Structure 1
Amino acid sequence: KVGNAHDQVGAAFQTIAAAEHVLRFIRQSKEEGKPFYVNFWLHETHHLVAATDEQKAPYPDTPEPQRTYYSAVTRADAQIGRALDLLDELGLADNTLVFFSSDNGPENSHPNPGQKFYYSVGDTGGLRGRKRSLYLGGVNVPFLVRWPGHVPAGRVDKTSVLAGVDVLPTVLAAVGISAPEGYRSDGLNVLDALEGKPFIREAPLFWEWRGPN
């Protein structure tokens, strides 16, 4: 047990614990000769941003709250790196499609007099709005893809409009599996965009605005 998302200790260790499950599952799938799909959800920077003194040690001269924020991001990066390294170790990297993304912009401010952990440390890079906003600061998020031999490494696409609902139909297309009968996705197969081919979105995207709080 590593606590929960609203607990400082839990926030500092839950991704490390989750990574252990991910690594075991990938190894087991490899040993059994089975294809696999993994959703590796990371809580760092999503809500409570916390780090132990040991995790903050690499940033001794960085002021708070950035020191805790950088430490949390570094912790998440290390666990993602463990999963990617395992794919290399098992010879699976070239045959594995990896997505990295986020769900929304940084959280709105919350009071935190004790400064043991933080909220809303993230930056939108100058974009208007944050989480719960329909401006770009709320809905424009990173979307990184790795698939050697299919997705050009280092390519930056600033024109294609993609969304989280596109992941499932894209994965189904990549592995050659049809969707269940009667299933209708809100998303599109965006393999063309990922592979650097011309892509024009033909279906609308919708966001729901639930108010400033």
Structure 2
Amino acid sequence: MLKATCTIAFIAGLSISARAQDQPHKVEVGLDVVNYSPFTSGYNYFYNAYNNNKTQWLSGVTFRYNFDRFGLRAGANYTTNTDKVDGSGCADCLVGQTKGKELRLKLGGQYSPFAKAPWLYVFTDVYYRRYTSEGNFSGGFTGNQNVVLGLRSNGVGFNAGVGAKVRLLNHVHLNPEVYYDAARARNTTTNNDPASGTTYLGSNRTRLHAPAARLNLLFAF
């Protein structure tokens, strides 16, 4: 909670300091320097991660085209994570790790509601989300269980929030954004026993609802 409060306060401070910025350029391209989602639920069962690490560095790119106070925006993010499961304190639990990968393709718009503050804007993005994970585990009560557990997830989501542009140089801006992230996805799970070659399929759904913040670095033309 403290980290989230500090992050929001930092972004708010940058927004206030951004007064007297230049009028927006037509084209902006940039990097997602850091994404922070402190309240995101991390797991779907003990072996499959819903979402990647709460803090992600240099995870994506963004493109924007501005029409005066209205702008179009697009972006892509790719993140990874590794989660280890230690069942040594449980006689019938498995031990191993899961590796996850997530791709998001985003499209949206933004609007500056105040003519005298073009650096401040509200935005909405919709996105396609593809998530996969795979874990190799061994153990169990008899000590000879081996299993490969996997997940394939496809879904859609949206972001809605507020952002600001803080000029560093004539064509370089810091761009903090605070937003709400929501997503729905359908998952296919697999449980494979390498010894017998048997694979069991299952399905469930991912639901994500969480506030988040990110900091972009924009280059304007």
Shorter-chain TM-score: what band? under 0.3
Highest relative contact order (Cα 8 Å, sep 6+), 1 or 2? 2
Task: Give the TM-score normalised by structure 1.
Answer: 0.26
Structure with bigger helix share is 1
TM-score between both structures, scaled by the size of structure 2: 0.25
* Structure exhibiting the larger radius of gyration computed from Cα positions: 2
